[in-house]
Structure 1
Amino acid sequence: MSQLSYARYGKDNIRLYKVDKNEKTGVQTVVEQTVCTLLEGDIDVSYTKADNSVVVATDTQKQTTYILAKQNPIDPPEQFAAILGDHFVKTYPHIHVAHVKIIQHRWTRMNIDGKPHPHSFYRDSQEIRVVEAVTRENEGVTIRSKIEKLLVLKSTGSAFHGFHRDEFTRLPETWDRILSTEVEAGWKWKTFKDLAEVKKVDFNAAWEQARNITLKTFAEDDSASVQATMYKMCDLILAAVPLVEAVDYALPNKHYFEIDLSWYKGLKNTGKDATVFAPQSDPNGLIQCTVTRKPKSKL
């Protein structure tokens, strides 16, 4: 005999775009998102008995997303994700958990003749803002915010030496190297008891702080290793945003290797003379960590 151990379903890749129009100033603001909604609850019979009476159709979930986007702000995405989750859990008695993932795509306002244009935008990178929210009936809302696809590079200010060596080690030590990575950074918020509590949080300010800390630390840290630099980033974000319980990073190395050109008339292009490099695709190092707050000591 078999049994259904776990089930959820929903609508993925809901493309959503909203424009807010200030009629007085003529300034417009745009937000573009890709939304995924997944529902859990008393839905077993739809799988085991072919009984569709418990199914909130995925098309219904899509239409609900559009209607709630019309009725509510969709930025910050953390708040909109909680609005969607709250709706599904409260509207359908047999739905007990709602998972909402939102990818917010980057549109940056154009500056024309030195002035912000009121309604024109451009995409200046592939960086995305990601939110994963779970609303559980009678338990509250958990939210994780993320930065993904933020490509950064610095041409000096990074070293890597003093690492373990054995018979399998070929990597030379270096006191000056190119450091490049595609940032994936996430921060987990404390559990919110309800939607009202979520609406009190300035998620956009926290996102700006996390992003600025990431860039500033990357640029200014005299990096002994990716590990050491990413720990500093986590520590600073925890200090800056008290409602965040944990911060994590995943930083893949984007390698740039020196090219020995001495074969051509003794041309120097290694060590301190290196100015021409070959960007590498793979294999690459991948460094990850999660940093949490220390438990409060009991007196």
Structure 2
Amino acid sequence: MPRLASARYGKDNVRVYKVHRDQRTGIQTVTEMTVTCLLEGEIETSYTQADNSVVVATDSMKNTIYIKAKEHPVNPPELFASILGQHFIDTYAHINTAHIKIVVHRWTRMVLDGQPHPHSFFRDGQETRNVEAVVDRKAGITVKSAIVGLTVLKSTGSAFHSFVRDEYTTLGETWDRILSTDVDCAWTWETFGSLKAVEQATPKFDAAWGKARAITMKTFAEEESPSVQNTMYKMCEQILDVVPETALVSYSLPNKHYFEIDLSWHKGLKNTGKDAEVYAPQSGPNGLIKCEVARTVLGKL
């Protein structure tokens, strides 16, 4: 006998842009984001019996996102995601859990003639600030913050050797190589008991994002990396140390390869080892290294 094992539905790819205008200074601040909202609850009959009386239309979800963006601050995104999720479980008694994901796209204020421009911005990379909030009627609010798509590269200061060698191994050991990756770093906050607890933690969200990004950049740049695995573990340790309200930190780092090109066939041109200057960037395949570092069992704030 078939049964519905799980179900959730909602609105994806809701694009939202909000401008905050400071009437006193004339300075404007902009936020562009993409929002996803998925709901769970007593909605089984909409699947099994074509009972639409339990369905909150996804178009209504879209409208709600716009209205709440007008009524509330959208920064930090951890708070706005929690506000959205709480609205849905407060408004609809048969909805038990709201899953909200927010992707904040990067707009950086222009600096012209040494002065920040009051209302002009530029896109200085594809990096995004991501938030996922799960608001559950019984379990409280779980918030996960992330840096996604931060592309970094260093031309030296990375090694990889003493790994397993067997009949399948062709990779040579190296004590100096190019290291490049697209950083995905996430940290999960200890569970919040209520929306009020999220509101009280609001100042910590931007600070944590700044600290996590600074740790990632500094450790990547300055460490003599023996491996991607060890470097990412050190990053996790540091974030857990400076943001004590977090319970879990994770990294996902693809190893974007740059291969030396042997040009000795052309007039003995040296371009390998210590003489390497010209490389061939590889689109794939690439290594992919992940880890999660936990502090303790998830608690409650």
Q: TM-score range by the shorter chain?
A: over 0.9
TM-score (norm. length: structure 2): 0.96
Aligned equivalents of 1:48, 1:225: Cα separation in 2: 51
2:213 matched to which residue of 1? 211
Q: What is the letter of the counterpart of residue 267 of structure 2?
A: K
SS for the counterpart of 1:266 is: coil
Q: What stretches of structure 1 move > 4 A for 4+ residues in a row?
A: none
Give, in angstroms, the shift of residue 45 of structure 1. Answer: 1.3
Aligned equivalents of 1:5, 1:226: Cα separation in 2: 39
Aligned equivalents of 1:49, 1:281: Cα separation in 2: 48
1:124 matched to which residue of 2? 124
1:173 matched to which residue of 2? 173
SS for the counterpart of 1:5 is: coil
2:88 matched to which residue of 1? 88
Aligned equivalents of 2:296, 2:11: Cα separation in 1: 38
1:2-48 CA-to-partner distances (Å, cap 9, x unmatched) read 22121111101111000000011100000000000011111111111
SS for the counterpart of 1:163 is: coil
Aligned equivalents of 2:166, 2:9: Cα separation in 1: 50
Aligned equivalents of 1:252, 1:213: Cα separation in 2: 18
Structure 2 gap ranges (5+): none
Q: What is the letter of the counterpart of residue 43 of structure 1?
A: I
Aligned equivalents of 1:40, 1:157: Cα separation in 2: 48
Aligned equivalents of 1:267, 1:294: Cα separation in 2: 56
1:133 matched to which residue of 2? 133
2:236 matched to which residue of 1? 234
2:14 matched to which residue of 1? 14
Structure 1 gap ranges (5+): none
1:221-259 CA-to-partner distances (Å, cap 9, x unmatched) read 110000010000000000010111011111001100001
TM-score (norm. length: structure 1): 0.97
Give percent identity, aligned residues only. Answer: 64
1:73 paired to 2:80:
no
Give, in angstroms, the shift of residue 294 of structure 1. Answer: 5.0
Would the aligned equivalents of 2:73 and 2:80 in 1 still touch at CA under 8 Å? yes
Aligned length: 295
Give, in angstroms, the shift of residue 138 of structure 1. Answer: 2.6
Give, in angstroms, the shift of residue 265 of structure 1. Answer: 1.2
2:289 matched to which residue of 1? 287
Aligned equivalents of 1:40, 1:173: Cα separation in 2: 51
Q: What is the letter of the counterpart of residue 206 of structure 2?
A: N
The Cα RMSD (Å) is 0.9
SS for the counterpart of 1:199 is: helix
Give, in angstroms, the shift of residue 199 of structure 1. Answer: 1.1
Would the aligned equivalents of 2:247 and 2:296 in 1 still touch at CA under 8 Å? no
